[in-house]
């Protein structure tokens, strides 16, 4: 392959990355080229295409961009998550947020960038336990994510033994049922009682407005701002804050504290912000 063809391929890939960034906010800089190519190769394999340059040509020069873009976005997202991830937030919810809640309505939570659902289902376990102590307590949880594929996984609520290692034993017994896949490998499914309380939808945080209720009690916006540039971080934090009730809480990832810059937010603890007002 000549230097000229390599450069032409790189230019096509760069153009494709710019399109992905403009739609999703996800930064795909030149120094991540190995990662980006690795992810695009998943599409090459899935379609049985000869190689990456053939695929790039199909997408960028032969009219396949529109149909491929959702799949490209799916492979470009980093979906790492865990049950009880950054568990200080769940302790904070139990110790501070829930005791303050006295409204005569359901407690409402949004897991924005919910990935495969672990954050939303952890919250459901915590709230279900709270409901046992507080008769009449009701709650609803919505999880949203950019990736259509990961939203499908979240809705199923089915996890491998490796994916549930962080679920405490007592919660596992109460809220996960054991089963197996078609070849007998063990799997766990979140019980229907919890799945019924958690809805999932595809949504892009780059959109100008979010089709999510306002007046939420808690929003999780964790480990997603890191993928955006400063301007988009500010815009997303502000857009999400619009959906909090006055006095509602925003949880961001512990490495993202500095980006929660909306003037309506007051920091209450590590990676915990409260929207001013009551
Ligand atoms: C690393 S995961 C974090 C999951 C979970 N919040 C946590 O902290 O464990 C980041 C998620 O953000 C999603 N994401 C990235 N860009 C997004 C966007 N523009 N709109 C909505 N979700 C996005 C990805 O699809 C991915 O599932």
Q: Ligand 1 mean position to 77 CA, how many Å? A: 7
Give the Cα separation of 26 and 265 in Å (integer).
Answer: 24
Sheet of strand 216-221, all strands in order from the earlier edge strand to the far edge: 198-202, 139-145, 107-112, 216-221, 244-252, 272-275, 265-269
Looking at 101-186, list the stretches that DSSP marks H as alpha helix, in order from N- to C-terminal side: 118-133, 148-156, 169-175
List where CATH 1.10.155 sits in the chain: 3-76
Q: Ligand 1 mean position to 85 CA, how many Å? A: 14
CB-defined site of ligand 1, < 6 Å: 24-26, 77-81, 85, 113, 115, 119, 145-147, 150, 204-206, 222-224, 227, 253
Question: Which of the listed residues 84, 145, 226 should we mutate to test ligand 1's pocket, taking the one with most ligand atoms within 8 A of CB?
Answer: 145
List where CATH 3.40.50.150 sits in the chain: 88-275
List average pLDDT for each run of 10 residues in the chain, which is 278 residues long. 75 96 97 95 97 96 96 97 98 98 96 98 98 95 98 98 98 97 96 97 97 97 97 95 97 88 93 92
Angstrom distances, CA of residue 150 to CA of 7, 31, 43, 218, 253: 33, 26, 16, 22, 19
Q: Ligand 1 mean position to 236 CA, how many Å? A: 12
Phi and psi, residue 178, nearest 5°: -85, 145
The predicted pLDDT at position 184 comes to 94
The predicted pLDDT at position 5 comes to 73
Q: Ligand 1 mean position to 146 CA, how many Å? A: 7
Contact (CB, 8 A) for 132 and 126: no
Of the candidates 54, 68, 69, 67, the residue with the CA atom closest to the CA atom of residue 19:
69
Give the Cα separation of 195 and 192 in Å (integer).
Answer: 5
Q: Which residue lies with its CA nearest to atom 24 of ligand 1?
A: 77
Of the candidates 125, 199, 219, the residue with the CA atom closest to the CA atom of residue 164:
125
Element (H, E) at 142: strand 139-145
Give the Cα separation of 87 and 197 in Å (integer).
Answer: 21
Q: Which residue lies with its CA nearest to atom 11 of ligand 1?
A: 113
The predicted pLDDT at position 8 comes to 73
Looking at 176-213, list the stretches that DSSP marks H as alpha helix, in order from N- to C-terminal side: 192-195
The predicted pLDDT at position 1 comes to 64
The predicted pLDDT at position 250 comes to 97
Atom of ligand 1 nearest to the CA of 25: 19
CA 72 to chain centre: 17
Q: Which residue lies with its CA nearest to atom 12 of ligand 1?
A: 113
Catalytic residues, by residue number, are 39, 145
The predicted pLDDT at position 261 comes to 80
**What CATH number labels 3-76?**
1.10.155
Atom of ligand 1 nearest to the CA of 115: 27
The predicted pLDDT at position 9 comes to 85
Q: Ligand 1 mean position to 223 CA, how many Å? A: 7
Give the Cα separation of 227 and 95 in Å (integer).
Answer: 31
Looking at the chain, list the stretches that DSSP marks H as alpha helix, in order from N- to C-terminal side: 3-24, 33-47, 52-61, 65-76, 88-92, 98-100, 118-133, 148-156, 169-175, 192-195, 230-241
The predicted pLDDT at position 259 comes to 77
Q: Which residue lies with its CA nearest to atom 3 of ligand 1?
A: 223
Question: Which of the listed residues 146, 149, 251 should we mutate to test ligand 1's pocket, taking the one with most ligand atoms within 8 A of CB?
Answer: 146
Number of Cβ within 10 Å of residue 46's Cβ equals 10
CATH superfamily name and code, 88-275:
Vaccinia Virus protein VP39 (3.40.50.150)
What one-character DSSP code corresponds to residue 254?
T
DSSP reduced 3-state for 187: strand
């Amino acid at each position: 392959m000549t230097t000229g063809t390599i450069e032409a391929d790189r230019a096509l890939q760069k153009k494709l990355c710019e399109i992905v960034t403009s739609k999703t906010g996800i930064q795909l800089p030149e120094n991540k080229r190995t990662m980006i190519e690795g992810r695009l190769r998943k599409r090459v394999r899935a379609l049985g295409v000869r190689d990456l340059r053939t695929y790039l040509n199909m997408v960028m020069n032969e009219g396949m961009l529109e149909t491929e873009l959702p799949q490209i976005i799916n492979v470009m997202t980093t979906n790492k998550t865990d049950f009880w991830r950054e568990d200080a937030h769940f302790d904070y919810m139990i110790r501070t947020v829930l005791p303050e809640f006295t409204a005569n309505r359901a407690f409402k939570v949004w897991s924005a960038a919910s990935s495969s659902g672990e954050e939303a289902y952890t919250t459901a376990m915590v709230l279900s336990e709270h409901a046992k102590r507080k008769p009449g307590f009701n709650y609803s949880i919505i999880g949203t994510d950019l990736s259509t594929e990961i939203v499908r996984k979240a809705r199923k609520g089915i996890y491998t033994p490796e994916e549930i290692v962080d679920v405490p034993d007592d919660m596992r017994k109460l809220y996960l049922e054991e089963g197996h896949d078609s070849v007998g490998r063990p799997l766990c499914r979140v019980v229907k009682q919890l799945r019924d309380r958690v809805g999932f939808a595809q949504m892009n945080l780059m959109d100008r407005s979010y089709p999510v209720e306002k007046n939420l009690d808690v929003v999780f916006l964790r480990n997603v701002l890191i993928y955006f540039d400063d301007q988009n971080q500010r815009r997303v934090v502000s857009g999400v804050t619009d959906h909090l009730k006055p006095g509602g809480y925003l949880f961001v990832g512990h490495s993202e504290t500095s980006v929660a810059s909306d003037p309506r937010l007051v920091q209450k603890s590590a990676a915990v912000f409260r929207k001013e007002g009551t």
